[in-house]
Structure formats: structure tokens, C-alpha cells
């Protein structure tokens, strides 16, 4: 199984305009960058059986841009990918509801994505990553479980991905 983790693109700042963190949209630059990143992902010939995203507006839009570029259809959403989501519950959801999927893209937030990578590669929370906005990580595993089960294949910055587009 291949698990791809994508951090949402650049979003508007939290503040008076967006007091509800879940409602912050991507900036116009974030939208443009994400489109270039998604084109780079497409050039890498990545395939997704499932695109699962946080329901927060900025992550949702990031997932929608990827889905548009890949001509995937509509992404799905999970509260377990929202800010502060529980990685063990997310793993349970994936193994319960999406066990037939070989290539899954998860779109979410920091530090949650780094915690997920750490859990799956080390079995704990000690791994520190610099997961840039619109950055993408690939994990490979035989079987998904909430323990050390995966190897980190690569972690790319948006610049790395844009170079392929």
C-alpha cells in the first residue's frame, strides 16, 4: 500500500476575517501554487484510489484542486483529518472503510501529518519533519496499522513538485 500525505496549500491568516479556523480559505497564491504542485504530482504519474481530506476549507480546496488535475471526481472527507484529529482513529477508518485501496492520498494539516508519519515509521511520536505547505510525502507499507509499519519513501517540498510540472 502507498499512503501519500499532502499538507494543504497556503491559506488566509487566522484573525478577525476568519475567526473560525475551519473556514480559512486558500490564498490566491496558494491556489496557484497548488495547481502547479498538482500538475507536478500528475507528471510523476501518481495514481490514487482514494482522495481523503480534512473537511476544513483550506484542505478541502487543496484536495479539490488535486482531484481536478487528476480528473478523479469528488474527494471524500474525514473528521479524523481535521486539525487535532486522532491518527489512530484515522488508521481505523482507513482499514475499516478503504481496505481495498492501494494508493491513498490524505490531505490535512500540521503537525498532524508529521505525527502520522512518525507513528507509521517509528511506532511513536519522535520523528521530526519539516512538512511545508503543499508538501507531499510518500509512505510504503505491506499492511496499514497504528504502529511501525511503513517506510518513508520521500518527502517533497512544493518547489520539488513544481519542477516536474
Q: Is the pTM of this model over 0.95?
A: yes
Query: 133-153: b or e for each residue (b if 16 or more CB lie within 10 Å)?
Result: bbbbbbbeeeebbbeebbebe
User: What integer is the mean pLDDT of 97-110?
Assistant: 96
pLDDT band at 165 (very low <50, low <70, confident <90, very high): confident
User: What integer is the mean pLDDT of 94-102?
Assistant: 95
pLDDT band at 128 (very low <50, low <70, confident <90, very high): confident
User: What integer is the mean pLDDT of 143-149?
Assistant: 94
- Sign of torsion over alpha carbons 91, 93, 95, 98: negative
153 has a pLDDT exceeding 90: yes
Cell 501518481 found at: 46
- Do 37 and 162 touch, CB atoms closer than 8 A? yes
pLDDT band at 21 (very low <50, low <70, confident <90, very high): very high
CATH architecture of 2-12+23-162: 3-Layer(aba) Sandwich (3.40)
pLDDT of residue 22: 96
pLDDT band at 59 (very low <50, low <70, confident <90, very high): very high
Amino acid at each position: 500500500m502507498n499512503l501519500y500525505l499532502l499538507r494543504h496549500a497556503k491559506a488566509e491568516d487566522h484573525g478577525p476575517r476568519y475567526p473560525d479556523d475551519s473556514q480559512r480559505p486558500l490564498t490566491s497564491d496558494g491556489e496557484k501554487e497548488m495547481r502547479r504542485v498538482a500538475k507536478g504530482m500528475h507528471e510523476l504519474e501518481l495514481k490514487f484510489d482514494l482522495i481523503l481530506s480534512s473537511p476544513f476549507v483550506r484542505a478541502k480546496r487543496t484536495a479539490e484542486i488535486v482531484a481536478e488535475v487528476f480528473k478523479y471526481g469528488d474527494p471524500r472527507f474525514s473528521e479524523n483529518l481535521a486539525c487535532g484529529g486522532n491518527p489512530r482513529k484515522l488508521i481505523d477508518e482507513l482499514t475499516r472503510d478503504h481496505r481495498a485501496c492501494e494508493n491513498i492520498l490524505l490531505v490535512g494539516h500540521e503537525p498532524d501529518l508529521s505525527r502520522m508519519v512518525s507513528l507509521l515509521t517509528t511506532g511513536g511520536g519522535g520523528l521530526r519533519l519539516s512538512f511545508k505547505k503543499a508538501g507531499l510525502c510518500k509512505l510504503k507499507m505491506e499492511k496499514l496499522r497504528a504502529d511501525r509499519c511503513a517506510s518513508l519513501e520521500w518527502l517533497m517540498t512544493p518547489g520539488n513538485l513544481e519542477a516536474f510540472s
